[in-house]
Amino acid sequence: LGLPLVTLAHQQGYVGGFEWIVCIGACTFLAYVVLGTMLFDRLIAAVREDMTTSLFSLMMDTCVLVGITCLLCYKDFVQTSNGDASHIYSFFCKSCWNGGF
């Protein structure tokens, strides 16, 4: 609910760019970490196994990173039509940034 509200406030000029980015990051963090961990905890409780949510969080992170990498590959290698090689450098920079290097 926070993402549409803060985006609407940004579009109307009530919230600046920096505040909008911070609010987007906070809303995404809350949805991703807090709600994801509670969901995984309830799934583990439903199957009555002794384990932690760390494995599920790691699997979710892996799926996100693979998805981002696939989208970057598609965008940089399939959608390029101008014929120059600058997209390879751009792909390398984005991959290193997403990989945490």
91-100 confidence digits (pLDDT tens):
666 666 665 5
31-56 confidence digits (pLDDT tens):
777 777 788 888 888 888 887 777 87
70-85 confidence digits (pLDDT tens):
887 777 676 655 555 5
Q: Percentage of the chain with pLDDT > 70?
A: 73
Tell me the C-alpha distance between 33 and 40, whole Å: 10
Residue 79 near residue 53, CB atoms below 8 Å = no
Q: Tell me which range, 12-16, 40-44, 60-64, 79-83, is most confidently predicted by mean pLDDT.
A: 12-16
